[in-house]
Amino acid sequence: MRQVRQASRPNAGPLPASKSRTGFVREEISMKTNDTENCDGTNESNSHLTRRAFLATTAASSAAVLTGGLASLLRPASAFAKKTSGSFVEASIPDLQALMASGALSSKDLVKGYLDRIASLNPLLHAVIETNPNAVSIAAHLDNERRKGQLRGPLHGIPILVKDNIATDDNMQTTAGSLALVNSRVPGDAVIINRLRAAGAIILGKANLGEWANFRGNINVFPLAVGWSARGGNTINAYDLSYTSWGSSSGSGAGAAANLCSVAVGTETDGSITGPSAVENIFGLKPTLGLVSQDGIIPICHQQDTAGPMGRSVTDVAILLGGLQSPFGEAIGHTLPNNYTQFLQRGALDGARIGRDVRYFDYSYYGSGIPGDEETVAFAEHALDVMQSLGAEIVDTDTGDVFAYADDEFTALLFEFKVQIAEYLATLTHSNMHTLADLIAFNIAHCPEELVYYGQEVFEAAEATSGDLTDPVYLAARTHARNTARAGIDNALAADNLDAIVAPHLTNSTGPAVAGYPNFSMPVGVRASGRPAGMLVYSTFLHEPQLIGFAYDLEQELKARVQPQFLGSIIPVPNAGLCEDLPKKPHVFTGKAHLPHGRIF
């Protein structure tokens, strides 16, 4: 059993903040090919299945350390390729590259394989809103490039699901799951989509999400329906159909977990990458604010929003992070890795000092509120024991009281959303939606389709703010929240001489989110109920390399990733019955806001 030490040393101050914005990316990669085969889009089904037998055979995932960079990723036929003879389920990106390099698998067949799984499992999981009708032809084009020796990098020919709040200038919609934006046109690909296309990735489809990234209403049926959208339906957890899918990147989480894609891109304002990753037994990294471009992503607020990678292995997360990296703001001017796979090293934890964020190990303090989730604390404690066995020193630490700034966070988000959603809507064409008030009116006019399980109290609270980002109420809330969150993490790291800090399943997303610091959710086991147990590992500004190294070392020892078994049955969500009471009196903003549940946006 580990010995936990307590230590202290002088505090460190918060980091300064800055911001920059650019326009969408209009440039596209030409994907013309003689192979004109397209695939049909897959939309929500009305199926009410309660359980599905697990499909497809299991492929053992390679545990190769990618210290050789791209050359080792694109090596010729490997033992994995020979053993699997083309199987792709549970395959990592390096596994898939090995299969394609050997000729055992083509990108075109890989896309078809994932589309088959989507067609089979999506009527149950509702993880995917729509698929890309050009995905097969794009894959065929990339196969032609491969045959000519024109490899773009480790993402060449890799199918990816992206959350439906990330703009794609193609034959798919970008709607945040809402009917209000159906048939609107974005001005171009989001910056990260442009980067992924240029790297050879295939945008396989749009992942479902909690509508408007769960920043619309007080979800009175929480933790159910946190992955619901009017376009995509209710995302279902692949491990236990009755368990939460969390949110709002619920489709990205379920899609990666159920092998509906190779990897997925989610977004997080507070908890929306790390939460779905925890409940779906996958790895998810919320990057440092400023490491990944926000341009072309439907916002909640630029002060916290970030896209990030979600996948079945640390290796895949590291590769995808490299593809997404597009720095702005505070990250500009810092030396950044051009290849995060160099940090996938055994021994990374040897000599590291890891903080145990003591408040969060009392699950009643800031846990999920879901009965049974308190069991995950024991899994986090076991993971710390394993970290210690790998040479880490575990130190009790305290990043401060999250309730000291949680309401200020929400207050700031309300102001920011009103302004920044209008700025985003102004970039669209073929749309009558120009302001938050327009969205509110649309939902009222389409109440039976939109206000099914919960209302739009958050929209209304945001609309009731001044919408002035020089308002003293706003400035005080944002400044206090950011400075307090940053000081809490930075002071703990400095006082206890720590390299990273750990908290259990579905707990401290808020501190790193408000601070703008990286937070890595990783699986640490599966409970007797079949529900996954996750753990958070976080640190300070641009410390992704350290977190990736620690997560990889622990992943290789724990081997906690297992395929979902689709246990249990779906709990029906009752209709909220809101349409009979409309219209309601306007919301009055009192200068302070509180959300009854959080960490799902």
What pairing do the DSSP bridges indicate for beta strands 519-526 and 283-286? Answer: antiparallel
Q: Are 550 and 537 in contact (CB under 8 A)?
A: yes
Count CA within 13 A, CB hemisphere, residue 524: 27
Catalytic residue among 92, 107, 248, 539: 248
Classify 483 as helix, strand or coil.
helix
Asked if residues 560 and 314 have their Cβ atoms less than 8 Å apart, the reply is no
Q: What is the largest CA-CA distance in the chain?
A: 66
Catalytic position from the list 108, 163, 206, 286: 163
Could you count the other beta carbons within 10 Å of the beta carbon of residue 12?
Answer: 16
Q: Is 595 helix (H, G, I), strand (E, B) or coil?
A: coil
Instruction: Count Cβ atoms within 10 A of the Cβ of residue 1 and give its class: 0-12 exposed, 13-18 middle, 19 or more buried.
Output: exposed
269's CB contacts (< 8 A; 6+ apart) are 213, 215, 300, 301, 304, 305, 413, 513, 601
- Whether 163 sits among the annotated catalytic residues: the reply is yes
Note every long-range contact of 13-19, with CB atoms under 8 Å and residues 24 or more positions apart, other chains counting.
13/487, 13/490, 14/482, 14/483, 14/486, 14/487, 14/490, 15/330, 15/486, 15/490, 15/540, 15/541, 16/330, 17/330, 17/482, 17/516, 18/329, 18/330, 19/302, 19/303, 19/329
* Residue of 272, 293, 368, 521 marked active site: 272
- Bridge partners (DSSP) of residue 501 are 355, 538
Residue 156 CB neighbour total at 10 angstroms: 24
**Which class for 581: exposed (0-12), middle (13-18), buried (19 or more C-beta within 10 A)?**
exposed
Distances (CA, A) of 34 to 136, 151, 202: 12, 19, 18
Cα separation, 401 vs 263, in Å, equals 34
- CB atoms under 10 Å from CB of 79, counted, come to 10
Per the annotation, the verdict on 248 as an active-site residue is yes
Active site residue 272: yes
Locus of tokens 């050879």: 200
The token pair at 34 is 């003689």
The DSSP string of 179-234 is: GGGTT-B-SSB-HHHHHHHHTT-EEEEEE--SGGGG-SS--TTTTTTTTEETTTEE
Report the alpha-carbon distance of residue 4 to residue 357 in Å, rounded. Answer: 12
At 183, the amino acid letter reads N
Q: Which are the catalytic amino acids?
A: 163, 248, 272
